[in-house]
Amino acid sequence: MRFKRHMELEHGLKQIDIAPLIDMVFQLLIFFMLTSNFVMQPGIKVNLPKAVTSELIKEEALEVSVSAENIVYLNGRVSTIGELKTAIRAVAKKNPSILIKADRRASLGRVVEIWDICREAGVSKINIATDQD
């Protein structure tokens, strides 16, 4: 079987036109830029209250969030008060620090209830997240 050593382009073309290739690359770039904006990041919408005297916490803590509708989340997952009690008791021995992220429209009674659960479980450091702005 013999192969041709030198290939010539058909009909006398001496070069390949790369303009359509560049157009296609730009269309792909625009497509991915537009679709990346539509990806929703999972999370809990919590508007933290503002405080002037807040401090940054550098240690890892168990995160309990309370939404404006008084729904309790434990590390980003919906949790009942019973599940919250068992999780806090299990974590209290290893990590004595809890961070409560409560929406500014959340019920103070719900936050105090979570605070009491933490104190009852023996958690010594209970922090409430605030916004410094």
**Secondary structure of 7-69 in HEC code, one letter for each residue:** CCCHHHCCCCCCHHHHHHHHHHHHHHHHHHCCCCCCCCCCCCCECCCCCCCCCCCEEEEECCC
Predicted pLDDT of residue 16: 75
pLDDT in 10s for each residue of the chain, 133 residues:
676 666 655 665 667 788 889 999 999 999 988 887 666 656 666 767 777 666 676 666 788 899 989 899 988 889 898 999 998 888 887 877 888 888 888 888 999 999 899 889 888 888 888 877 6
Is the domain defined by 62-128 classed in CATH 3.10.105.10? no
Backbone dihedral angles phi then psi of residue 120, each to the nearest 5 degrees: -65, -35
Predicted pLDDT of residue 42: 62
Predicted pLDDT of residue 27: 95
Every domain of the chain and the residues it spans: 62-128
Predicted pLDDT of residue 26: 95
